[in-house]
Amino acid sequence: MNLRRFIPDRFTNLLILAVLIATVLPVQGQSAVAMSWVTNLAIALLFFLHGSRLSREAIIKGASHWRLHTAIFSTTFIFFPIMGVVLGPVLRPFITPELYLGVLYLCILPATVQSAIAFTSIARGNVAAAVCSASASSIIGIFLTPLLVAFLLAEYSSQIPEFNLAAIGKIVMQIFVPFVVGHLLRPWLGGWIIRNASMLRWVDQGTILLVVYAAFSQAVSEGLWQQTPLYALISVTVISCIMLAIVLAFTHYLGKWVGFSREDQITLVFGGSKKSLASGLPMAQVIFAGQAIGAIVLPLIIFHQIQLMVCAVLANRYAKQSEEVKSRSS
């Protein structure tokens, strides 16, 4: 096994650096207010670019696989939350209440877009269905995640805000509207976006780094590290590994039980097991406005890196198996 796949990539190292800088030099006062404005604008730009990248042809091509999409959405928005609740009695003795809220928040987020599609492509899965499913999950999550926060997480903490349309309205304006505008402008911007994909990746990553820095600056100022013991951080890492293993096994056997083709099984595994850092961080800023969200998003950041490392190995294994099957049949 190539152990280099398990070494954190550059973006993960930058995430860690952002947390360290926020720990040593947290942004405060008027600078924090300015940072909030800059972060909100960067988030709007991020989802504008996401919308402009989305191919309408790929959506139409992949939309016909309704059984596959139902399985992916059920895993993302039903199985994951149930797993987080069922594991609660086991998890809560080992982590702080804030970190457990973060685990539950992780469980109700939509699937990630870029990595789900990328890993499906590497593994020789159904890429068109992956594009459709991941994009739809991201859009549905804009409306469904705040509902799940209000009706699921409120049971575990009095600090969770009650459901209100204003929160969804803010998320729609900050995420959904730029996404739609970007998609509508795709005929004019699509070519430029494709030609500058490598440069625009820095916009994606830079926005996430800004949100992480701002979130942890506020949390550090309110005593995050004093309130979070080392054993709790280790426990979150172990919990993330266990949860990912459970959902990977579930999607693997669900695809076989339903009778999906190999390509669709691969799409289900990678589409159903991912959680979106790009959507989760901006939504946390709106949903938990006025609170220190560092501890709430920390499980998401940890899970994000683990899912990337594990799924990179899985994708290459699937690809190798596909090549072996192809060579035997030829």
Q: What is the pLDDT of residues 255-271, one digit of tens each?
A: 999 999 999 999 999 99
Q: Indicate the pTM of the whole model.
A: 0.81
Domain 9-320, classified CATH 1.20.1530.20, yes or no: yes
Report pLDDT digits (tens) over 136-191: 888 888 888 888 888 887 666 555 655 556 667 777 787 788 888 888 888 888 78
Q: Helices (H) and strands (E) in the chain — how many of each?
A: 18, 0
Contacts of 9 (CB under 8 A, 6+ apart): 308
Distance (Å, rounded) from C-alpha 69 to C-alpha 53? 21
pLDDT over threshold 90, residue 73: yes
Domain spans of the chain, in order of start = 9-320
Measured between alpha carbons, how far is 271 from 266 in angstroms, rounded to an integer?
A: 8
Q: What is the dihedral of CA 81, 85, 87, 88, to 10 degrees?
A: 140
Angle (CA) 284-246-160 rounded to 5° is 25
